[in-house]
Structure 1
């Protein structure tokens, strides 16, 4: 009888454990955004920048390593910023050279094909105002010094002329 009880217990334990939903896995961490991929692209800037910033005629090996890594992994959507927001680095890029990187670097996928099939909205760059960032009390972001009106020309001249007396 005892063996039958143990067998039934084990059977019930096994069947209930397979019927219960698996414990929920930890949610994946939020996507870090595109900043890392765009920073990794920085060795390419001397090649893809528009004149006068284009200082090389060939892509550096570090550039090709970064481009190949991103494009061959299938996560090239962030590099679509280079086409859709060509001033993302605050200076113009040579779009022809950006498009040629997959050929120059001999990658298995082209940046143009990834960006033409990418969703209309690009992944976020990164939210830099997370919950850890606190705002100053009262929401005032200007210092008292910067909020007072500046001296007029006559007051400034008077203050300059009499600065020795104030010391």
Structure 2
């Protein structure tokens, strides 16, 4: 791929890829690194030829790179060093909405990865179960089962 084509892909898909990587790694800097590595890999692959939708290909690269990161030693060390900082606001309505989003986000991030990823693809990317099954390389019935289980687990975790 040419430099211009890579720049166009970065403009079109970098935010999507960053959100996707963040769902997996739960750390913005790590997610940014993963996205950057994916684009570098794509740039270095001179043999790449488009066989399908580029978004699917980029999604697969980000998911695989994120899963590899979660298996890495650097990720395990980061877990020990991570500190959460709470932000305070003065507007009560905004504070309540932020608190609800925070509670939901925390509950989602406490779910196992296999449930977290189906929730993300279903609610944030609005993918159909067949699309998720194809992308994740699992049967569609497994996607449906994970979605049901994820909703139940999320409901149990929320007050």
Same fold (TM over 0.5): no
- Normalising by the residue count of structure 2, what TM-score does the alignment of the two structures yield? 0.27
Of Structure 1 and Structure 2, which has the larger fraction of its residues in helix? 2
TM-score (norm 1): 0.26
Which protein is bigger by CA-based radius of gyration?
1
